[in-house]
Structure 1
Amino acid sequence: MNLNLRKAIIHNVSGNNQDELRDTIVDAIQGGEEKTLPGLGVLLEVFWQNADPEEQKMVLETLEESLQQQQMQ
């Protein structure tokens, strides 16, 4: 079986509005299931490829700060 996971994930969320995308992300995070991680990764990839350098910098700063906070807990 030749399944392109990226294409399948993009196909599943294409056409979703902002609320639906938010719900998808929140559900994946709150569910805490490992199987949702690839979908979140694809969404990050799509964002990253379309973000300008300032948006990328903001994400990196947020991730860095968030990961440092996680280590302190």
Structure 2
Amino acid sequence: MNLNLRKAILSNISDNDQSQLEATIVDAIQNGEEKMLPGLGVLFELIWNQSDEQDKQEMLEALEQGVKQAGS
């Protein structure tokens, strides 16, 4: 069985508005379930691809700080 996970995730959220997308992200983070990680990865990929270099730099700085805090 060949399942394209990215395509399935995008299909599931294709009609979502901003509030629905936010609810999806918040729910995935709050539940902390491993099965939600691929979906968050796809969402992050969409954000990254739509961002300019300054936005990417800001995300990387936030990510670096988050990694440092999580490692403490």
TM over 0.5: yes
- CA RMSD across the alignment: 0.9
1:50-65 alignment, distance < 5 Å: 50-65=50-65
Q: Percent identity over the alignment?
A: 56
Alignment-mate amino acid for residue 69 of structure 2: Q
Q: How far apart in 2 are the matches of 1:14 and 1:60? A: 26
1:13, distance to aligned residue in structure 2 (A): 0.7
CA offsets 1:7-54 (integer angstroms, 9 cap, x no match): 000111112111100100011111111000000000011111111111
1:66, distance to aligned residue in structure 2 (A): 1.3
Structure 2: segments with no counterpart, 5+ residues:
none
Alignment-mate amino acid for residue 53 of structure 1: E
- The residue that corresponds to 1:10 in the other structure is 10
Number of matched residues?
Answer: 72
Alignment-mate amino acid for residue 24 of structure 1: T
Structure 1: segments with no counterpart, 5+ residues:
none
Q: How far apart in 2 are the matches of 1:67 and 1:58? A: 14
- The residue that corresponds to 1:19 in the other structure is 19
Alignment-mate amino acid for residue 47 of structure 2: F
